[in-house]
């Protein structure tokens, strides 16, 4: 039988008992209760940092952690689905798609005797499904390349500037699925690549915005974008929006 949890819960109580009610309790620790429930992924890397204080814990299942911490302002962050680097940033290697990342971040004033924080991880990536269609034989095999100016996430979930590029070939069903990191603007572009040459470029970020996609949502949703290729035009559409562009034959 493991005694890890009983020891963890008894330690804060022992520390509190070391502070007499007659003493200045400002020097006594705060009991910080971190409630991790309904975790979407595991393991989760949990970090608590402050001025001169740092604690990291690897969480493998729903739990409640109770930590004795100094009475000061602390930053609590948690990441699941990918690991942060030394600066707290999660980077997407150039050429790869975004990992299925879930994040939590909060500035916590741990100034009372006890403070509870519900740690709720939020989805920080968009699964973009591109569905290509057209008349019979509308084009030879081609690839789709998505290019952006966000390479990953800061510790608080904000978009981190950098190079993002990922290329994929649609399947026989005409579908291509790409995971995108949270964006800060409409700079995403989509290239249609044939024989290693970009023959057509679409302002993907603008199209997603026109379709109502919200990159500022606490938890990102997914989107399916249909691309209907005709001889002289390309129509991009969702269930609620469509836009047709006149174009030359490009594949």
Give 75-100 pLDDT, tens digit per residue: 999 999 988 787 778 999 999 999 99
8 and 113 together in one domain: yes
Do the domain assignments include residue 171? yes
Domain residues for the domain of 80 are 4-122
3-state DSSP assignment of residue 10: helix
49 and 139 together in one domain: no
pLDDT > 80? residue 51: yes
Do the domain assignments include residue 251? no
pLDDT > 90? residue 3: no
C-alpha–C-alpha distance, residues 161 and 118, integer Å: 29
Average pLDDT, the chain: 87
Do the domain assignments include residue 42? yes
Q: Where are the alpha helices (DSSP H) in 84-200?
A: none
Q: How confident is the model at residue 25 (pLDDT cuts 50, 70, 90)?
A: low
131 and 241 together in one domain: yes
The CATH number of the domain where 35 resides is what?
2.60.40
Range scoring the smallest mean pLDDT among 44-48, 68-72, 189-193, 196-200: 196-200
């Amino acid at each position: 039988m493991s005694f890890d949890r009983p020891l963890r819960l008894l330690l804060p109580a022992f520390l509190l008992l070391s502070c007499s009610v007659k003493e200045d309790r400002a020097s006594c620790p705060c009991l910080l209760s971190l409630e991790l429930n309904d975790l979407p992924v595991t393991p989760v890397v949990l970090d608590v940092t402050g001025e001169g204080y740092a604690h990291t814990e690897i969480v493998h299942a729903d739990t409640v952690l109770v930590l004795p911490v100094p009475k000061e302002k602390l930053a609590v962050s948690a990441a699941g689905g990918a690991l942060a680097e030394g600066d707290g940033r999660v980077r997407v290697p150039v050429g790869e798609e975004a990992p299925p990342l879930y994040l939590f971040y909060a500035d916590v004033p741990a100034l009372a005797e006890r403070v509870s924080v519900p740690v709720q991880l939020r989805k920080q990536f968009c699964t973009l499904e591109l569905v290509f269609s057209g008349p019979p034989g509308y084009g030879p095999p081609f690839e789709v390349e998505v290019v952006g100016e966000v390479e990953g996430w800061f510790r608080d979930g904000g978009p981190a500037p950098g190079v993002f590029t990922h290329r994929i070939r649609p399947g026989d069903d005409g579908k291509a699925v790409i995971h995108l990191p949270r964006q800060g603007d409409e700079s995403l572009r989509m290239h249609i690549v044939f024989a290693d040459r970009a023959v057509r470029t679409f302002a993907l970020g603008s199209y997603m915005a026109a379709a109502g996609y919200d990159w500022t949502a606490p938890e990102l949703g997914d989107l399916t974008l249909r691309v209907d290729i005709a001889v002289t035009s390309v129509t991009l559409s969702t269930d609620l929006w469509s836009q047709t562009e006149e174009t030359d034959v490009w594949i």
